[in-house]
Amino acid sequence: MSAARQRPFRRVTSTALAVLGAGVLVAGCTSNTPEASGGGGGGGGEAASPNDEAGETVRIGFSAPAADHGWMAGISQAAQAEADRYEDVELSIAEGTNDVSTQISQVETFINEGVDAIVLLPFDGAALTPVALRAMEAGIPVINVDREFNSPFAARATVLGDNYGMGVSAGQYICTQLGDQPDAVVAEIAGIDSLPLTQDRSRGFADALAECGLNVDNRVAADFTVEGGERTAANLLQAAPQIDAVWNHDDDQGVGVLAAINNAGRSEFFMVGGAGSANAMREIQSGQSVLDATVIYPHTQAADGIALARLIAQDKSLSDLTSQGVPQRIVLDAPVVTAENVDQYIDAAFES
């Protein structure tokens, strides 16, 4: 570790200490198979409530984009694992696709089959809004995951990660490490700049850094791929001879980012990742990497959607809430994973 990497103090914010928020609440408090341990849904399933009792069989249709990215593959795997926890759930998974017309046809098939609920992570939220509205009009509740529809009437419930909160968590962590060094150089490796999620992450990052007097000195954008991460990081390292901290938005592209860092022989800075992949957490555990932390963007969102679909179809409520019914909108936490708490998260992480 270079002497340039000064660590005045290590303080983890309340956000960093938080668990996966609603993801644990939903998965942990609705299972009718409490002994199941959680590969996909993330909850221990130990709560005893009427929700734990098997009810009428619920047929759920699930559609998501192609699993061409570790996080997206984790989404579908976690959804299946969550469905497997319930003896009263029959899950029909459509083949992942990045073709909007194909995904619309998949949802139309679910409508024609008369499923009890649809969990939908749309490739394009706006493009899938009309068919989601048709499902709702047919009396089939739709649970919208990750990418929002552009009509509030297109979903009975929406489960979202917190992109702005990811940026805030990353910025707050860097502030805890560099907050007394106003001249520290901070770099950012974003995802695809045209996407609102990337813009939200960058905005949250800048806002958090501003609270401790820091700013983004060098910023580049990649494309959420290993190759793009390596290429973009190499360009960044050539342009910036001194860096104190880097935030990389995505752990899949982070595989390439780390390769570029190793090829350049740079180690004077620390890095924060994004999404929470298992390989990133192993890097953190090793203590031999510039990767100090990663901010979780839950791949359990669709698993939570399955749990919510079951509750809605069976007219049940969240057992840990006083209010009846299921909330219309759930935004999951964006905790920071470090060497101090990585053991809490790594077993449920997705593989890049």
Flag whether the pTM goes above 0.75.
yes
One domain for residues 44 and 167? no
Residue 324 in any domain: the answer is yes
Token pair 């990389």 in the structure block, residue? 248
Average pLDDT over residues 133-138: 98
One domain for residues 192 and 132? no
Domain count, the chain: 2
- Tell me the β-bridge partners of 246: 187, 271
Strand residue runs (E) in the chain: 58-63, 89-93, 117-120, 142-145, 157-160, 186-190, 216-221, 245-248, 270-275, 291-296, 329-331, 336-337
Task: Provide the pLDDT for residue 51.
Answer: 79
pLDDT at 9 exceeding the cut of 50: no
Residue 309 in any domain: the answer is yes
Residue 196 in any domain: the answer is yes
Tally of CB atoms within 10 A around 99: 11
Tokens representing 176? 């805890």
Tokens representing 252? 């899949």
One domain for residues 147 and 231? no
Token pair 């964006």 in the structure block, residue? 334
Task: Provide the pLDDT for residue 53.
Answer: 80
Token pair 């139309």 in the structure block, residue? 108
pLDDT digits 0-9 by tens, 98-112: 999 999 999 999 999
Report how far residue 188's alpha carbon sits from residue 30's, in angstroms, rounded to the nearest whole number: 39
CATH of the domain at 325: 3.40.50.2300
pLDDT band at 352 (very low <50, low <70, confident <90, very high): confident
One domain for residues 153 and 184? no
Average pLDDT over residues 133-152: 97
One domain for residues 86 and 210? no
Residue 173's SS3 state is: helix
Dihedral sign computed on CA atoms, order 68, 71, 73, 79: negative
Task: Provide the pLDDT for residue 38.
Answer: 37
One domain for residues 315 and 247? no
Report how far residue 292's alpha carbon sits from residue 286's, in angstroms, rounded to the nearest whole number: 10
Helix (H), strand (E), coil (C) string for 219-245: EEECCCCHHHHHHHHHHHHHHCCCCCE
One domain for residues 96 and 34? yes
Burial 315-337 (b: 16+ CB within 10 A, else e): ebbbbeeeeeebbeebbbbbbbb
Tokens representing 117? 């609920």
Average pLDDT over residues 273-287: 97
Token pair 């619920």 in the structure block, residue? 58
pLDDT at 154 exceeding the cut of 50: yes
One domain for residues 272 and 284? yes
Residue where one domain finishes, among candidates 250, 276, 296: 296
Tokens representing 264? 């350049």
Q: Identify the CA nearest to 251 among candidates 166, 333, 131, 186.
A: 166
Residue 14 in any domain: the answer is no
The DSSP line for 276-297 is: -BHHHHHHHHHS-SSEEEEEE-
Residue 135 in any domain: the answer is yes
Average pLDDT over residues 194-200: 93
One domain for residues 237 and 325? no
Measured CA to CA in angstroms, residue 261 lies from 109, 237, 246, 275 at distances of: 47, 8, 11, 19
pLDDT at 271 exceeding the cut of 80: yes
Average pLDDT over residues 143-153: 97
One domain for residues 118 and 234? no
pLDDT band at 241 (very low <50, low <70, confident <90, very high): very high
Task: Provide the pLDDT for residue 49.
Answer: 62
Domain enclosing residue 187, as ranges:
163-296
pLDDT at 1 exceeding the cut of 90: no
pLDDT at 283 exceeding the cut of 50: yes
Residue 314 in any domain: the answer is yes
pLDDT at 319 exceeding the cut of 70: yes
Residue 341 in any domain: the answer is no
One domain for residues 221 and 268? yes
pLDDT digits 0-9 by tens, 25-84: 343 343 333 333 334 443 344 445 677 688 999 999 999 999 988 999 999 999 999 999
pLDDT at 300 exceeding the cut of 90: yes
pLDDT at 288 exceeding the cut of 90: yes
Tokens representing 263? 């090829």
Residue 6 in any domain: the answer is no
Q: Are strands 291-296 and 336-337 parallel, antiparallel or unpaired?
A: antiparallel
One domain for residues 197 and 265? yes
